[in-house]
Amino acid sequence: MRGGWVALAASVLAASFAAHEDVAHASRPPPRAGAAPASYKQAMSGWHAPLAHPAPVDATGRPKLVLHSLNHDEKAELTAATDAGGFSAEDLDRAAYVLRSASGDRHPVEPRTLNVVYRIQSHFSAPEIRIVSGYRVPKPTNHSNHGKGRAIDFVVPGATDADVATFARTLGFVGVGIYPVSGFVHLDVRDRSYFWSDASGPGRKNRERGILGDLAKSSDREAALRGEVPVSTCALQFDVDAALRACAAGESTTDDDDEPGD
C-alpha cells in the first residue's frame, strides 16, 4: 500500500512541478488557482497518514531524524548529537543526497535546516518527515532558498499542516509557509522570520499572502534570548568567489517566491 501512494505521489509531484514551470514561462495567463485534482488529493491523504511505528532511536535512546523523499522513495536515518539536533558531516552528505532534486542534482544542506526539522519531528513524536521538495536547481531570476540548501517542503505524518506551521513559527529565524490546497508546509532558515499562506493549487501560480508579522518579530526576539543564531545572509554554495561578491554587495537571499517584498 505504501509503495502505491508513494509512486502516485512521485508522479503527481513531477506533473505538478512541470506544470509550475509551464505556468511561469507561458505567454498566456496562468490557469486560475483552485482545488487540487482528485489524484493529487489521494496522494496528499497518503502523505499525511500516520504510521504505527515510532522513529528509530540511537544508542542513547534519542530518536533519529528520518527524512523520507516522496520523489525518490528513499530514506535517510540521521543521528542527532543533542535534543536540538546537530548532525555530522557524513549525515549532512546523506541528507543532501535524499534531498536532491528530481533531476538528481545535489547541494550541501545548511545544518540549521536539519536542526529545526528535527525539532519539529521530535515535537510531534513523528516516525519520519516526508519530503515533498528539497533542493531545486535555481534559475538566474530565482533566489529561492530551495536553491541554497536552506528549504524543505514537507509533511509530518499524523499531524495537520496547520499544527505543524503553528509550531514551526515558534522556532525563530525561519520562513514558514502553509499551502492548504497543495497540502504541505514550507520551512526555510533565514536571518529574520517571515510567515505566509498560499492558497494556490499544485502547478498553479503562487497566491502568497504574508501573515502574522508581529509574531515573526516576537519569535525572533525569543529565539535570540534562547541563544539561537540566524544563518548568515550569504548563501551556501560551491562558487566561493560568487558568494563573497554577493555578501559584499549586500544581496538579499530571501526567496523570490516566498517573500516578494518587505
Question: pLDDT (tens digit, 9 = 90+) per residue, 114-135?
Answer: 999 999 999 999 999 999 999 9
Domain contains 257: no
Under a CB-based contact definition with an 8 Å cutoff, are residues 255 and 175 in contact?
A: yes
Residue 156: pLDDT above 70?
yes
pTM for the full model? 0.81
Q: Could you tell me the pLDDT band of residue 3, with boundaries at 50, 70 and 90? A: low
Answer with the residue of higher pLDDT: 96 or 241: 96
Domain contains 262: no
Q: Could you tell me the pLDDT band of residue 238, with boundaries at 50, 70 and 90? A: very low
Residue 230: pLDDT above 50?
yes
Domain contains 167: yes
Starting at the edge strand found earlier in the chain, the sheet holding 74-78 runs 74-78, 65-69, 129-133, 151-155, 184-189, 174-179, 194-198, 208-211
Residue 164: pLDDT above 50?
yes
Residue 20: pLDDT above 50?
no
pLDDT tens by residue, 46-69: 999 999 999 999 999 999 999 999
Q: Could you tell me the pLDDT band of residue 232, with boundaries at 50, 70 and 90? A: confident
The whole domain housing 115 covers 2-29+38-249
Residue 179, H or E segment? strand 174-179
Under a CB-based contact definition with an 8 Å cutoff, are residues 253 and 234 in contact?
A: yes
End-to-end Cα separation, the chain, in angstroms:
45
Domain contains 254: no
Domain contains 238: yes
Residue 168: pLDDT above 60?
yes
**pLDDT at residue number 142:** 73
Longest CA span, the chain: 57
Residue 144: pLDDT above 60?
yes
Picking from 81, 99, 87, 103, the residue whose alpha carbon sits closest to that of residue 14 is 103
- 234 burial level (CB within 10 Å; 0-12, 13-18, 19+): middle
Q: Which residue has the cell 507561458?
A: 26
Domain contains 261: no
Domain count, the chain: 1
Mean pLDDT of 29-36: 54
Domain contains 195: yes
Domain contains 260: no
**pLDDT at residue number 204:** 86
